């Protein structure tokens, strides 16, 4: 089974974010980056499927040079090779533009399965995978908890809302977006890290791909959210703050 | 091309209440004089007809076909593609549900568009609209604009628009029969199921103490359990805690877990998926070391500090207050 895993590099969780001087994006200078967490689970699922059924896992990433680090980590964990679409202009594209690039870069790969995370931790639009499936003309399913591969088809467990689930079968090739937390993530071994250095990374320049259509939605301004409620911040040492809070819970909220 | 089309969602013969919030967003878009219509997709939709007709709309549509009995992305995309081509609306609005996340991006792609997903607000700016959504799990907000000629596809976050503001009316509901081919529907869905009977009903709990990633490891959970016990509260958690198996899934609050509306929620988690599940809380207390954590946006009282110091101090203070 040949599996492509589309991964994204995002700022490290709990980074301190500052809006840049243009007001269009965050200041990237002092940020560290890591694999988007849901994509890490998609990679893990791909590696487990390969362990069960054999085949190949190919990591696919679009982004600037710094993306190489995230690719190396995917290779160290066990991906067989990678495709890096090198581009600095992701911010000027919308989801359709990015998905078109991903589709063009894997045109000749003919995978059985494409996996990606259900959404990104930065933009959180949650649709690159679904759009990619439409562009490739293959079926898809989202928010997947479990994958059972059969002969030419798969059966997946989809998460619905409020604790409901559903099994769905579909023919291959197909695309799945994977839910976070469905398995335990592996660490790269020393051997894996060593091997990663010899694995193939196919570099694709965005200029060699068909030009993406002009974005139809544009991010115009980034800002700190306005508070919906006036929060009473309670100051003091932990002990003092706790005592003051309990006073309020007793006399204002009346729950104690 | 003009007008606003709102696509309503239903399950088991009843509308998902988020449908009416999407309709409220649609009314806001239509306020400048554009016609507003709403559609419901499925098979045998008689039971849903009167509630649809009872809204102030220009038109209602029942998109019905035997192949739409069970949800599939292929079926919904094809049916709605046909309806949108007929109506040529300027805006198509959905509730941001798991089902919409599954098919709406694919539908938008058919029109060369993308879905502006999970909106928390919109406002008029001259002749156009500005759409507001959250970035970085709610830490930042962003204004988006839509350019280009195709319909603009939008989905709205739970609780972001008020269904109470909807005007009642009497609307004609028209049947729309899409052309569907069984062979073009590739996914074969089975009946939805639940894993196990719920033994904890968080939705009935008057007080909830909620724990998030900040607890760091399972061995630290007792400090939260002690606070919950002192307050007479149920212990709840955000998704990663339950994914790790530190607490059972049934204690999860958020878009994929339970929705709660307690009198008091003491929370140390702030991911937006979690906040969506606790929006109905009457009073929210937030404890977080990051003063910019999204939970402070919804909190009535906040303590910025280390939970490992604040929570035990709070437990002591609660016990003392109850003892006296």
A122: nearest CA partner in chain B: B136
Q: Do B310 and A221 touch (CB under 8 A)?
A: no
Q: Do B105 and A250 touch (CB under 8 A)?
A: no
Among A227, A244, A255, smallest CA distance to B310 is for A244
Q: What is the pLDDT of residue A69?
A: 97
Neighboring chain B residues of A27 at a CB cutoff of 8 Å: none
Q: Do A166 and B309 touch (CB under 8 A)?
A: no
B151: nearest CA partner in chain A: A216
ipTM confidence: 0.92
Tens of pLDDT along chain A (256 residues) come to: 999 999 999 999 888 899 999 999 999 988 999 999 999 999 999 999 999 999 999 999 999 999 999 999 999 999 999 999 999 998 889 999 999 999 999 999 999 999 999 999 999 999 999 999 999 999 999 999 999 999 999 999 999 987 789 999 999 999 999 999 899 999 999 999 999 999 999 999 999 999 888 899 999 999 998 777 788 999 999 999 999 999 999 888 888 8
Q: What is the pLDDT of residue B306?
A: 93
Who's near B33: CB < 8 A, 6+ residues apart?
Answer: none
Who's near B89: CB < 8 A, 6+ residues apart?
Answer: B1, B2, B3, B4, B5, B37, B151
A127 → closest Cβ in B114, B191, B285: B114
Q: Do B284 and A141 touch (CB under 8 A)?
A: no
Burial class (CB in 10 A: 0-12, 13-18, 19+), A166: middle
Q: Do B198 and A94 touch (CB under 8 A)?
A: no
Q: Could you give the angle at the alpha carbon of B15 between the alpha carbons of B11 and B18, nearest 5°? A: 110
Among A151, A176, A141, A161, smallest CA distance to B187 is for A141
Produce one character per residue of B6-44: b if its CB has 16 or more CB atoms within 10 Å, e if not.
bbbbbbeeebbebbbbbbbbbbbbbeeeeebbbbbbbee
The alpha-carbon gap from A80 to the nearest alpha carbon of chain B, in Å, equals 28
Phi-psi region of A63 (alpha: psi -120 to 50; beta: other; left: phi over 0): left
Neighboring chain A residues of B146 at a CB cutoff of 8 Å: 216-217
Specify the 3-state DSSP secondary structure of A81.
strand
Neighboring chain B residues of A141 at a CB cutoff of 8 Å: 73, 102, 187
Pairwise CA distance, residues A118 & A128, whole Å: 9
| Cβ atoms within 10 Å of A243's Cβ, excluding its own | 18
- Helical H runs in chain A? 37-53, 67-77, 95-105, 128-136, 190-196, 238-251
Q: Do A245 and B134 touch (CB under 8 A)?
A: no
A19: nearest CA partner in chain B: B140
């Amino acid at each position: 089974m040949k599996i492509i895993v589309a991964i994204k590099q995002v700022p490290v969780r709990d980074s301190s974010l500052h809006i840049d001087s243009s007001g269009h994006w965050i200041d990237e200078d002092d940020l560290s980056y890591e694999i988007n967490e849901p994509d890490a689970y998609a990679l893990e699922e791909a590696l487990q499927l390969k362990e069960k059924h054999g085949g190949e896992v190919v990591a696919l990433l679009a982004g600037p040079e710094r993306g190489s680090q995230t690719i190396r980590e995917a290779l160290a964990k066990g991906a067989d090779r990678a495709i890096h679409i090198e581009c600095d202009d992701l911010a000027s594209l919308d989801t359709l533009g990015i998905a078109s690039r991903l589709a063009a870069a894997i045109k000749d790969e003919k995978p059985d399965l494409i996996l990606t995370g259900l959404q990104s931790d930065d933009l959180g639009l949650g649709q690159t995978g679904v759009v990619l499936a439409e562009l490739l003309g293959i079926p898809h399913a989202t928010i997947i908890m479990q994958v059972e591969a059969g002969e030419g088809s798969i059966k997946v467990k989809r998460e619905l809302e409020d604790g409901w689930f559903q099994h769905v079968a579909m023919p291959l090739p197909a695309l799945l977006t994977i839910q976070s937390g469905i398995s335990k993530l592996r660490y790269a071994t020393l051997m894996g890290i060593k091997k990663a250095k010899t694995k193939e990374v196919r570099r694709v320049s965005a200029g060699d791909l068909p030009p993406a259509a002009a974005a139809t939605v544009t991010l115009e301004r980034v800002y700190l959210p306005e508070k919906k409620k006036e929060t009473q911040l309670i100051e003091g040492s932990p002990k003092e703050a706790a005592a003051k809070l309990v006073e309020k819970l007793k006399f204002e909220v009346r729950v104690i | 091309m003009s007008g606003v089309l709102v696509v309503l969602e239903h399950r088991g013969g009843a509308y998902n209440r988020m449908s009416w919030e999407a309709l409220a967003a649609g009314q806001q878009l239509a306020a400048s004089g554009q016609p507003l219509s709403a559609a419901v997709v499925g098979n045998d939709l008689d039971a849903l007809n009167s509630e649809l007709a009872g809204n102030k709309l220009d038109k209602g549509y029942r998109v019905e076909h035997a192949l739409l009995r069970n949800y599939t992305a292929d079926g919904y995309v094809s049916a709605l593609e046909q309806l949108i081509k007929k109506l040529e609306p300027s805006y198509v609005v959905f509730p941001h549900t798991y089902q919409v996340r599954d098919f709406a991006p694919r539908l938008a792609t058919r029109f060369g568009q993308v879905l502006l997903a999970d909106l928390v607000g919109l406002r008029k700016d001259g002749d156009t609209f500005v759409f507001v959504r959250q970035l970085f799990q709610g830490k930042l907000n962003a204004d988006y604009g839509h350019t280009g000629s195709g319909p603009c596809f939008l989905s709205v976050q739970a609780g972001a628009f008020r269904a109470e503001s909807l005007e009642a009316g009497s609307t004609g509901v028209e049947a729309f029969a899409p052309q569907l081919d069984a062979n073009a529907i590739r996914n074969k869905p089975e009946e939805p199921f639940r894993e196990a009977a719920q033994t904890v009903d968080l939705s009935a709990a008057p007080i909830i103490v909620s724990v998030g990633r900040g607890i760091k490891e399972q061995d630290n959970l007792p400090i939260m359990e002690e606070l919950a016990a002192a307050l007479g509260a149920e212990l709840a958690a955000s998704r990663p805690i339950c994914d790790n198996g530190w607490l059972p899934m049934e204690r999860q609050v958020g878009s994929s877990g339970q929705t709660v509306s307690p009198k008091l929620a003491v929370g140390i988690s702030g991911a937006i998926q979690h906040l969506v599940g606790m929006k109905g809380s009457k009073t929210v207390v937030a404890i977080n070391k990051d003063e910019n954590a999204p939970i402070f946006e919804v909190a009535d009282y906040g303590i910025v500090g280390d939970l490992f110091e604040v929570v035990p101090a709070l437990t002591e203070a609660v016990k003392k207050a109850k003892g006296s």
